């Protein structure tokens, strides 16, 4: 099968398009014909094995100490169930599915455990739209619901609101009844208002930490905010939440836990099937819609990674493995 090959850690050019063996579904696994995948900030980070500070070593232990252990990268996918391993009861051939893998999605075929982060696609979406949901959507759900423990009526600032995580945070927070201020470059203004932000601040000209308004949650989706400044606009029970964090933020999380006043919180979105089902429900209720900033063919993998590395991505960057409208893939 055609696949992106990942032989060593490094720049986008270390990735090539080539051939890899078609994976066989083991017991309890399904094989998916991948129609669409994406390049996420997580893929770019893994490609170079760039873990912030302390996380470099655990990443290498999981993915390979000196070179990638698994030759095919890729996390988000949408496609059609094509074959079942022994004992699979929850899926049938021909079903449209989407989900989040640890690796292997940048290929024509992918195997997943049926109990993994995979589910039937939300009704009415294209494969490209379904592939644009899991990474940002699951992160937003876990960080809002579990890490920040957001409550209806609270005031929230989303810093980095136009990225894959940010566009889901804005929509979800609005749906859960929070008052949302989105911080992003001016070029994203119309999109963020359409997604439900009550206020959009241009990050080049407005500093939300100088505002008079008291916030309950500041959710930093990309990094760059400082607790020393953010605490000025937080309520005494406010939370400064980091999706992207390092040793400094972890130390602040411990420190603020021991003291009264606003807290710093960090976390991890693990990619659970139950959360994927909750995300699907939100999409089917019309609370969340996928945001695709760019579409490319799988063969543009190097350019796609370079774009994600630029840090300027809007929503998801979708790679079409089978172009939309292709009648019947081999
Ligand atoms: N802990 C976890 O479990 C977890 C899960 C998912 C993601 N993450 C991490 O979360 C981060 C964000 O992920 P993502 O996928 O949303 O990223 P992304 O899609 O690449 O988002 C990039 C966005 O951030 C904005 N941005 C760039 N620099 C900025 C800055 N200095 N201040 C404010 N906005 C800035 C850009 O918009 P402009 O046009 O405004 O520059 C762009 O829209 C990544 O570091 C990722 O590794 C962590």
Q: What is the pLDDT of residues 89-125, one digit of tens each?
A: 999 999 999 999 999 999 999 999 999 999 999 999 9
- CA–CA separation, 86 and 311 (whole Å): 42
Residue 277 within any structural domain of the chain: no
Q: Does residue 307 line the site of ligand 1, with CB under 6 A?
A: no
287, pLDDT greater than 70: yes
Range of the domain at 70: 2-133+290-320
Whether 70 contacts 45, CB under 8 Å: no
45 and 128 fall within a common domain: yes
Residue 155 within any structural domain of the chain: yes
* Residue-averaged pLDDT of the chain: 95
118 and 143 fall within a common domain: no
pLDDT confidence of 55, banded at 50, 70, 90? confident
Contact partners, residue 7, CB within 8 Å, separation at least 6:
14, 16, 67, 68, 71
Q: Does residue 165 line the site of ligand 1, with CB under 6 A?
A: yes
Contact partners, residue 210, CB within 8 Å, separation at least 6:
none
Q: Does residue 268 line the site of ligand 1, with CB under 6 A?
A: yes
- CA–CA separation, 119 and 95 (whole Å): 10
pLDDT confidence of 63, banded at 50, 70, 90? confident
Q: Does residue 229 line the site of ligand 1, with CB under 6 A?
A: no
Using the mean position of ligand 1's atoms as its centre, give its distance from the Cα of residue 316 in Å. 11
Q: Does residue 203 line the site of ligand 1, with CB under 6 A?
A: yes
> What is the model's pLDDT at position 54?
66
CATH number at residue 249: 3.40.50.720
Q: Does residue 171 line the site of ligand 1, with CB under 6 A?
A: no
Q: Does residue 47 line the site of ligand 1, with CB under 6 A?
A: no
Q: Does residue 42 line the site of ligand 1, with CB under 6 A?
A: yes
Pick 48 or 27 by higher pLDDT: 27
Residue 36 within any structural domain of the chain: yes
| Nearest protein CA to atom 10 of ligand 1, as residue | 244
> What is the model's pLDDT at position 51?
64
125 and 142 fall within a common domain: no
53, pLDDT greater than 90: no
96 and 216 fall within a common domain: no
Q: Which helix (H) or strand (E) holds 253?
A: helix 247-257
231 and 262 fall within a common domain: yes
231 and 316 fall within a common domain: no
pLDDT in tens, 310-325: 999 999 999 999 977 7
Distances (CA, A) of 57 to 49, 53, 120, 267: 9, 9, 35, 18
40 and 158 fall within a common domain: no
- Report the 10 Å Cβ neighbour count for 69: 12
Residue 274 within any structural domain of the chain: no
Q: Which atom of ligand 1 is nearest to the CA of 184?
A: 40
pLDDT confidence of 328, banded at 50, 70, 90? low
| Nearest protein CA to atom 11 of ligand 1, as residue | 222
Strand order in the sheet with 179-184: 199-202, 179-184, 155-159, 215-220, 234-242, 263-266
Whether 265 contacts 241, CB under 8 Å: yes
214 and 144 fall within a common domain: yes
Using the mean position of ligand 1's atoms as its centre, give its distance from the Cα of residue 26 in Å. 35
**Number of domains the chain is built from:** 2
169 and 204 fall within a common domain: yes
329, pLDDT greater than 70: no
pLDDT in tens, 227-270: 999 999 999 999 999 999 988 999 999 999 999 999 999 999 99
Q: Does residue 167 line the site of ligand 1, with CB under 6 A?
A: no
Residue 327 within any structural domain of the chain: no
145 and 121 fall within a common domain: no
113 and 189 fall within a common domain: no
> What is the model's pLDDT at position 154?
98
Residue 64 within any structural domain of the chain: yes
Residue 330 within any structural domain of the chain: no
CATH number at residue 59: 3.90.180.10
> What is the model's pLDDT at position 60?
84
Query: Which of 28, 44, 39, 37 shows the shortest CA–CA distance to 111?
Result: 28
Using the mean position of ligand 1's atoms as its centre, give its distance from the Cα of residue 291 in Å. 14
| Nearest protein CA to atom 2 of ligand 1, as residue | 268
Contact partners, residue 300, CB within 8 Å, separation at least 6:
319
- Radius of gyration over alpha carbons of the chain, in Å? 20
124 and 229 fall within a common domain: no
């Amino acid at each position: 099968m055609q696949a992106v090959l990942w032989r060593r850690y490094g720049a986008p050019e270390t990735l090539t398009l080539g051939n890899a063996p078609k994976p066989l579904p083991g017991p309890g696994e399904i094989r998916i014909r991948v129609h669409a995948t994406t390049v996420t900030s997580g893929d770019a980070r893994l490609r170079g094995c760039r873990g912030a500070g302390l996380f470099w070593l655990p990443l290498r232990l999981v993915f390979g100490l000196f070179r990638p252990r698994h030759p095919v990268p890729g996390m988000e996918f949408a496609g059609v169930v094509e074959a079942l391993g022994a004992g699979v009861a929850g899926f049938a051939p021909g079903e449209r599915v989407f989900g989040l893998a640890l690796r292997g999605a940048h290929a024509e075929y992918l195997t997943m455990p049926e109990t993994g982060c995979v589910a039937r696609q939300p009704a009415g979406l294209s494969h490209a739209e379904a592939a644009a949901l899991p990474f940002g959507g699951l992160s937003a759900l876990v960080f809002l619901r579990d890490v920040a423990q957001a409550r209806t009526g609270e005031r929230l600032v989303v810093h980095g609101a136009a990225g894959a995580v940010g566009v889901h945070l804005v929509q979800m927070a609005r749906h859960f009844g929070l008052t949302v201020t989105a911080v992003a470059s001016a070029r994203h203004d119309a999109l963020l208002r359409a997604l439900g932000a009550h206020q959009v601040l241009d990050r080049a000209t407005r500093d939300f930490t100088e505002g008079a308004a008291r916030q309950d949650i500041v959710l930093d989706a990309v990094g760059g905010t400082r607790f020393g400044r953010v605490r000025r606009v937080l309520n005494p029970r406010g939370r400064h939440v980091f999706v992207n964090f390092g040793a400094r933020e972890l130390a602040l999380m411990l420190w603020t836990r021991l003291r009264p006043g606003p807290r710093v919180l960090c976390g991890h979105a693990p990619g659970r099937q139950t959360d994927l089902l909750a995300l699907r429900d939100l999409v089917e209720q019309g609370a969340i819609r996928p945001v695709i900033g760019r579409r490319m063919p799988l063969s543009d993998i190097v350019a796609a990674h370079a774009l994600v590395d630029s840090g300027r991505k809007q929503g998801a960057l979708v790679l079409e493995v089978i172009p939309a409208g292709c009648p019947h893939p081999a």
